[in-house]
Amino acid sequence: MTNNRNAIIIGGGIGGLVASITLRQRGLDVRLYEKNNEFGGKMSRFKKDGFHFDMGSSILTTPNIIRELFEKSKLNINDYIDLVRLNHQTKAFFTDGTTLALYDQVADLRKCNDVISEDDIRDYEDYLGESKRMFEQSYQNYFESNSDDFKEYRKKNPLLSMFRQRSNFISLQSSINKFVRNPKLRELLGAMMYENGSSAYHTPAIYNVMNYLHHQHGLWYIRGGAHNLTEGLVQLAADIGVSLNNNTEVTAIEQRDNVILSIELSTGEHVQADYYVSNMSPVTFEQLIDEQNEKIDNYPSVTPSSFIMLLGVSKIYENINFHNVFLPKDMIQYDKAFFTDKKLPSDLFSIVVNTSQLDKNHALSGTQNLKVVTPIPNLNDMEYTKEDFVYLRHRILSKIEQMGLEDLRAHIIFEQTITPYDIQKKYHSNGGAMNGVTTDMRYNKGFKYPKQSTRFSNVYYVGSSVHPSATLSMVVLNAQQVGSMIIDESTK
């Protein structure tokens, strides 16, 4: 299929790569410009001194979404990446010394956790049943449609049942608590949203479908590291004829009458296209046009940033899984401090990922690689000094030592830290946000930015700032949706 229109993709993160592939598959001429040397955005990798770390998520959900992208080019995803289904999903560490782990099979939840009873299993199965009903009744309309706000969602679905409406007006945590009585299991199920930069107490209940999808379709790891997905997408894009340009930053944008006319590149070249797809945040994109435009300040709240420690340790911690969370003592107080007061909580939430459990070459022999990710307020809400980060490091390592990783600091043989300032600079991320915009009922019923610009008729957005984007697979989905929207527009 051919199409005489053309598109420019600004940013080579996962969203930008998928949008470029989708448009090229439908016949458009596509050029992609990435400011960094490597493609993939936050799905890049860091390698040094024998240690290898995924910079973004190491977990993939609903791989069928990505598999279908390759199939549309009559290619087999297995020729590009190797997917491994995880038996252990997430393990939670609590301040009272107990732990709780989710597994691929419900039977293992009871068998492998002392804090889980038969009643808890029945509660969990009831919760999964409710989440399945949400999936069957709302997933297609809420996630797979091109609806970008609640008003449009209702307009496209005038016969919404009360069930569907309820899932947009009650919180994810309230829905969990209705079915699950075990307080630790409640917190672990709600923790998914904190990992994605949103509040379990303000995210709509519809997002419980994510926990259902984790159970039904599993959590997956990409052998070699998540960056291999980036490499697979880059190869696919090149194979089908996308023009890929790295080390090329967009420095200025020319517009007239709410239409983008051209962009200026760091090479000094001016390039034009019929359509522009931005993988940078909408705020950053529009600041390139008009830094003082007051509309920029009216966007929904962005997600927290993160303080990240990449650690190589000379000890094998047998008590951790591939993916672990270290929870605060009081999740309600943590949530209030973070998402209402916009302050650094007194007790922190940290994620610890150990990919060397599955890829032995990610660490030296007899060692482990530990990526420690701790959400902290973004740079729009708080500024930091070097001393602040030194103290943060002390707080985080002290806590996870006390909760299960004994003598961690004594065994650190490699360390690299990444701050919100690094994230903002490298990824053009608004305030150093890790996950774009929050899915918050207080802001447009949990919807994020619209995929098509409300200011410029030929501009579209992809990535973690637009709907839907709770997971990596959702970012792939929204980029495919943008591709379809442009195709529909170009064939009118």
Q: Which two tokens stand for residue 170?
A: 């009650």
Show the domain range for 24: 1-44+65-86+224-299+449-492
> Has residue 110 been placed in a domain?
no
> Has residue 286 been placed in a domain?
yes
Rounded Cα–Cα distance for residues 491 and 372 (Å): 47
Rounded Cα–Cα distance for residues 270 and 414 (Å): 43
Q: Which two tokens stand for residue 258?
A: 């709410």
> Has residue 255 been placed in a domain?
yes
Q: Which two tokens stand for residue 271?
A: 């390039």
> Has residue 384 been placed in a domain?
no
Q: What pLDDT does 13 receive?
A: 95
> Has residue 112 been placed in a domain?
no
Q: What CATH number is associated with residue 269? A: 3.50.50.60
Q: What pLDDT does 79 receive?
A: 92
Rounded Cα–Cα distance for residues 321 and 325 (Å): 10
Rounded Cα–Cα distance for residues 445 and 439 (Å): 8
Rounded Cα–Cα distance for residues 452 and 153 (Å): 15
Q: What pLDDT does 162 receive?
A: 44
Whether residue 417 contacts residue 309, with contact meaning beta carbons closer than 8 Å, is answered with yes
> Has residue 268 been placed in a domain?
yes
Q: What pLDDT does 428 receive?
A: 84
Rounded Cα–Cα distance for residues 449 and 474 (Å): 14
Q: What pLDDT does 281 receive?
A: 85
Could you give phi then psi for residue 13, rounded to 5 degrees? -75, -175
**pLDDT digit string, tens, across residues 263-279:** 999 999 999 999 999 99
Closest CA to 275 of 14, 15, 19: 19
* pLDDT tens for each residue of the chain, 492 residues long: 566 899 999 999 999 999 999 999 999 999 999 999 999 999 999 999 999 999 989 999 889 999 999 999 999 999 999 999 999 999 999 999 999 999 999 999 999 999 999 999 999 999 999 999 988 877 777 776 766 766 666 666 654 554 455 555 789 999 999 999 999 999 999 999 999 899 999 999 989 999 999 999 999 999 999 999 999 999 999 999 999 999 999 999 999 999 999 999 999 999 999 999 999 988 888 888 875 454 544 556 788 999 999 999 999 999 999 999 999 999 999 999 999 999 999 999 999 999 999 999 999 999 999 999 999 999 999 999 999 999 999 999 999 999 999 999 999 999 999 999 999 999 888 899 998 888 888 876 778 888 999 889 999 999 998 888 768 888 999 999 999 999 999 887
Classify 464 as helix, strand or coil.
Answer: coil
**pLDDT digit string, tens, across residues 201-246:** 999 998 999 999 999 999 999 999 999 999 999 999 999 999 999 9
Q: What pLDDT does 154 receive?
A: 65
> Has residue 159 been placed in a domain?
no
Rounded Cα–Cα distance for residues 326 and 94 (Å): 6
Residue 111, burial from CB neighbour count under 10 angstroms (0-12, 13-18, 19+): exposed
> Has residue 390 been placed in a domain?
no
How many structural domains are present in the chain?
Answer: 1
Rounded Cα–Cα distance for residues 454 and 193 (Å): 28
Whether residue 449 contacts residue 302, with contact meaning beta carbons closer than 8 Å, is answered with no
Q: What pLDDT does 245 receive?
A: 98
